[in-house]
Amino acid sequence: SRFREEAARQLAGIARLKTDELVRWRAERIADGRVLQDNAAFHAIVRSRLDGNADGGRGAELEEWLEGVRRGYGYEQVVLAAPDGSPRVALPPVAQTPLARLRRACPEVLRTRETAFLDLEREGPSGPVRAGVLVPLVDRVSGKPLAAVYLGIDPSEFLFPFISRWPVPSHTAETLLVRREGDAALFLNDLRFAPGSALS
């Protein structure tokens, strides 16, 4: 009985630590997006590009800004999308752009005008699992939707390794992210003894 109570306390403590860290990580990603959402200079560069006035180095300035965000904050891909979700600039250009996800999410994010965290999703039947942050950009004068910036996250870089780490030695312990889908439970991360099982 004492052993079970001690094990339960240890599990509860680890669960709290993991949950708190995940909440902080998610809040930091939202804050990254709000840096762009609230930046008047960035808005001006985007507006100039979308209006076709990207001469005088403004086009290169936009790419440099987006690449700085991608590298500085550690995102896999940064995409500037039109209000309908069609990409205008994608860095790096060779990365797979989540077109379906952008077309679904952009109108809603621009309607609410709130930076949103896009949940884990598999890109195609056998594609990689990705998450993201979508940042609405609204014209400050007219109030009309201007564009959206997608910050693509590869969860294998930080999120999945963080979830899988266990702070004390154990042969079997694991942490799972689970989402209810109808009457089923969908595992969002790989199972310890079933690599590649995330979202499958």
Q: Which H or E run includes 132?
A: strand 129-138
Six-digit token string for 185:
């439970």
pLDDT recorded at residue 197:
81
pLDDT band at 102 (very low <50, low <70, confident <90, very high): very high
Check pLDDT > 80 for residue 5: yes
Cα 12 to Cα 40: distance, rounded to the nearest angstrom: 44
* 141-146: long-range contacts, CB 8 A cutoff, minimum separation 24: 145/83, 145/110, 146/43, 146/46, 146/47, 146/50, 146/83
* Report field, pTM of the whole predicted structure over 0.85: yes
Check pLDDT > 80 for residue 56: no
Check pLDDT > 90 for residue 146: yes
What is the rounded end-to-end Cα distance, in angstroms, of the chain?
A: 37
Residue 181 burial class via C-beta count within 10 angstroms: exposed 0-12, middle 13-18, buried 19 and up: exposed
Check pLDDT > 80 for residue 53: no
**With pLDDT > 70 as the criterion, what percentage of the chain qualifies?**
96
Cα 76 to Cα 95: distance, rounded to the nearest angstrom: 8
Average pLDDT, the chain: 89
